[in-house]
A and B are shown apart, each in its own frame.
Chain A
């Protein structure tokens, strides 16, 4: 039994069959990579788990509950956090506030309307946010406005925002896109480190084969909306269909 089980998911946009009969089984505590050439349907698939899109048919069961037809915040409250392809953060707020908001959402649920509570008196939330930022190496930037950070720092901040909620499942959409090699390696180490200290299942969409093969314990290969292979990294490298569809064009 996996923590996330996706079965026979189909999604059609007009004349385009974006996903056809996609099956995915993510083991609890593992790092599962989804790779595939551009336009294979990776992001579409991810959007189906977080409430942005609803598949035409099929099911997605997370921890015994269906993820289909419920709103993004409800999915998050079940324990699914998402890192976006371009960092989605609260740019006008400070770095610390950026992390305190998800911490509040984790503790208080989808909403808590108390206009007379105090942010300044929430020592517990503040400590939690500060620790998470330290883990991400952002302890010196806590009072900075988020918009003035570098792109790499914004990504780390977004990861901190997800981790402070102690999610069961973390979805990462190209966490290293547009990063220099040094930054990419740092992010890989960070993600490995997260895996060691916290029991978080991770689903990673990635283009960079270096990242995929250093992180993933299992890989699903998507091409033209179908999963053409799902296996451990060693076997994926030698898989003839995968070579044909994808790796044949890339240097591994």
Chain B
């Protein structure tokens, strides 16, 4: 179906189920229970899961297939964000033009940066993209303040012209919507002690993420994708095989940049505010971490990596000292203080430390990322099953 083989279809269905059921899956603990702080099923975070999933899928098309490590992908995210806010300000509060235009603007941006950066490969390519992204950040933060709002950022306001729907008189700044369906609209379902929130904005992000994932599968399975993998393996051979690698790399870079722009467009559609810090190198580094943590070059890895990092960022960082004291109150006094002192640096503001340790563990023990971890567990489980049946097979003839 959809031109996919059975295995890819399973991945697509798996991701679709994850996205549809996320509000339930991410809220495994009943409301009000002490573990409820690990629930991640609130709209803001779920939107971020889907948006950063898109960002990571796009980054993986570049890095996973061709091995070209861009350190400036946040520039495309930022460009998309600004373009999206401008659409919301000038054209209409409907999110669709914002999402489309932000994707296109990021694509043009990627074309220009790609034309220059792709003249080099390896570390020089990384440095060139980093330089461009930092330039974009500096421009957005200061020089281009009239367009970008400088350090305060760009946001929608009451007296925006909004050519298509500006006539509507209201004392509130309108929130982005899809033909009247506001992104903040939510529908809550209470089952026993559990409270599930189904948010309109989240489901729009999820649908876009699913389409993005589908397109990524198709790219991976196309001759175009095969050429990109060949570029990663042996670019020299590919040249002597009659293939001009430049057009392939440029197309790949632009597609990847458009995914980032799409993510930026969705981000401002959910919350119409774009700031320059979105373009900073730390943001570019984060997507690299997501893809490597999840498993570069795999289809599902970037989605998992993005979810994992965003979960840690939002959940671990909420655990503060008093929460820890609550947890360890079962221990005797001195022991409890000791445990709190040990764990505290890894949570709350120190959540980066946890992430760093996890990242190191993954890179050392699972170079293929979380996906490889899943495969190892899978083969361990089925391998045990197979060993048992093999043992049964060898003993049967002896009887």
Q: Does A113 contact B (CB under 8 A)?
A: yes
Type the 1/0 row for A99-134, where 1 means its CB is closer than 8 Å to any CB of B: 011101110111111111111101000000000000
Q: In the complex, which residues of chain A have a beta carbon less than 8 angstroms from the beta carbon of B3?
A: 116, 118
Type the 1/0 row for B212-246, where 1 means its CB is closer than 8 Å to any CB of A: 00010011011111110110111011111111110
Q: Known: A88-B234, A111-B248, A113-B247. Contact between A82 and B226, CB under 8 A?
A: no
Q: Does B395 contact A (CB under 8 A)?
A: no
Q: Known: A89-B237, A90-B230. Contact between A114 and B222, CB under 8 A?
A: yes
For the complex, give the distance between the alpha carbons of A101 and B237 in Å. 10
Q: Is the CB of B242 within 8 A of A91?
A: no
State which of B222, B240, B242, B244 has its C-beta within 8 Å of the C-beta of A116.
B222
Q: Is the CB of A73 within 8 A of B225?
A: no
For the complex, give the distance between the alpha carbons of A110 and B241 in Å. 9
Q: Known: A76-B240, A101-B238, A110-B243. Contact between A115 and B248, CB under 8 A?
A: no
Q: Does A50 contact B (CB under 8 A)?
A: yes
For the complex, give the distance between the alpha carbons of A86 and B236 in Å. 13
- Minimum CB–CB distance from B156 to chain A (whole Å) comes to 34
Q: What's the A-B contact tally at a CB cutoff of 8 Å?
A: 109
For the complex, give the distance between the alpha carbons of A108 and B227 in Å. 12
Q: In the complex, which residues of chain B have a beta carbon less than 8 angstroms from the beta carbon of A92?
A: 229, 232-233
Q: Does B312 contact A (CB under 8 A)?
A: no
Q: Is the CB of B240 within 8 A of A82?
A: yes
Q: Does B106 contact A (CB under 8 A)?
A: no
- Minimum CB–CB distance from A118 to chain B (whole Å) comes to 6
Q: Is the CB of A90 within 8 A of B222?
A: no
- Minimum CB–CB distance from B239 to chain A (whole Å) comes to 4
For the complex, give the distance between the alpha carbons of A168 and B243 in Å. 17
Instruction: Give the residues from 173 to 215 in chain B that come closer than 8 angstroms, CB to CB, to chain A.
Output: 215
Q: In the complex, which residues of chain A have a beta carbon less than 8 angstroms from the beta carbon of B5?
A: 120
For the complex, give the distance between the alpha carbons of A108 and B248 in Å. 13
Q: In the complex, which residues of chain A have a beta carbon less than 8 angstroms from the beta carbon of B225?
A: 115, 119
For the complex, give the distance between the alpha carbons of A118 and B3 in Å. 8
State which of B219, B223, B237, B244 has its C-beta within 8 Å of the C-beta of A88.
B237
Q: In the complex, which residues of chain A have a beta carbon less than 8 angstroms from the beta carbon of B241?
A: 73, 76, 81, 101-102, 105, 161, 165
For the complex, give the distance between the alpha carbons of A119 and B218 in Å. 10
Instruction: Give the residues from 54 to 94 in chain A that come closer than 8 angstroms, CB to CB, to chain B.
Output: 71-73, 76-77, 81-82, 84, 88-93
For the complex, give the distance between the alpha carbons of A165 and B229 in Å. 20
- Minimum CB–CB distance from B330 to chain A (whole Å) comes to 51
Question: From A83, which residue of chain B is reached at the shortest CB distance?
Answer: B240
Instruction: Give the residues from 133 to 170 in chain A that come closer than 8 angstroms, CB to CB, to chain B.
Output: 161, 165
State which of B215, B223, B232 has its C-beta within 8 Å of the C-beta of A119.
B223
Question: From A77, which residue of chain B is reached at the shortest CB distance?
Answer: B242
For the complex, give the distance between the alpha carbons of A203 and B338 in Å. 76
- Minimum CB–CB distance from B59 to chain A (whole Å) comes to 16
Q: Does B340 contact A (CB under 8 A)?
A: no
Q: Does A97 contact B (CB under 8 A)?
A: yes
For the complex, give the distance between the alpha carbons of A116 and B214 in Å. 11
Q: Is the CB of A106 within 8 A of B237?
A: no
Q: In the complex, which residues of chain A have a beta carbon less than 8 angstroms from the beta carbon of B371?
A: none
Q: In the complex, which residues of chain A have a beta carbon less than 8 angstroms from the beta carbon of B240?
A: 50, 72-73, 76, 81-82, 84, 88
For the complex, give the distance between the alpha carbons of A115 and B239 in Å. 20
Question: From A105, which residue of chain B is reached at the shortest CB distance?
Answer: B242
Question: From A114, which residue of chain B is reached at the shortest CB distance?
Answer: B224
Q: Known: A91-B233, A111-B243. Contact between A97 and B222, CB under 8 A?
A: no
Q: Does B26 contact A (CB under 8 A)?
A: no
Instruction: Give the residues from 236 to 272 in chain B that come closer than 8 angstroms, CB to CB, to chain A.
Output: 236-245, 247-248, 251, 255
For the complex, give the distance between the alpha carbons of A93 and B297 in Å. 13
Question: From B8, which residue of chain A is reached at the shortest CB distance?
Answer: A120
Of B218, B223, B255, which is in contact with the most chain A CB atoms at under 10 Å from its CB? Answer: B223
Q: Is the CB of B247 within 8 A of A111?
A: yes
Q: In the complex, which residues of chain A have a beta carbon less than 8 angstroms from the beta carbon of B229?
A: 90, 92-93, 97
- Minimum CB–CB distance from B228 to chain A (whole Å) comes to 10
Chain B interface (Cβ < 8 Å from any Cβ of A): 3, 5, 215, 218-219, 221-227, 229-230, 232-234, 236-245, 247-248, 251, 255
The contact sample of 30 A-B pairs, CB cut-off 8 A, is A71-B239, A73-B240, A73-B242, A82-B240, A88-B236, A89-B234, A89-B237, A90-B229, A90-B230, A90-B238, A91-B233, A93-B226, A101-B238, A105-B241, A109-B242, A110-B242, A110-B244, A111-B244, A111-B248, A112-B224, A115-B219, A115-B225, A115-B251, A116-B218, A117-B222, A118-B221, A118-B222, A122-B223, A165-B241, A165-B242
Chain A interface (Cβ < 8 Å from any Cβ of B): 50, 71-73, 76-77, 81-82, 84, 88-93, 97, 100-102, 104-106, 108-120, 122, 161, 165
- List 6 tightest A-B contacts by C-beta distance, closest first: A76-B242, A110-B244, A105-B242, A90-B233, A88-B237, A111-B247
